[in-house]
Amino acid sequence: MQITQEKFKKLFDKLGMTPSASKLERILADLGVTIAKPLIINGVECTQPQREPLEPGEEYLIVDPTNDNMYSGELTWNNFPQERKWLERGLVYLNKEDAIKVATALLIPLKGTNNENS
Each domain of the chain, given as residue ranges in start order, spans 2-37, 44-111
Tell me what pLDDT residue 7 has. Answer: 77
pLDDT tens, residue by residue, 60-116 = 999 999 999 999 989 999 999 999 999 999 999 999 999 999 999 999 998 875 555
For residue 23, CA distances in Å to 7, 10, 86 come to 15, 15, 32
Q: Which residues pair with 44 in a beta bridge?
A: 41
Tell me what pLDDT residue 114 has. Answer: 58
Asked whether residue 118 carries a pLDDT value surpassing 50, the answer given is no
Tell me what pLDDT residue 1 has. Answer: 55
Residues 8-35 as b/e (b if ≥16 CB within 10 A, e otherwise) read beeebeeeeeeeeeeebeeebeeeeeee
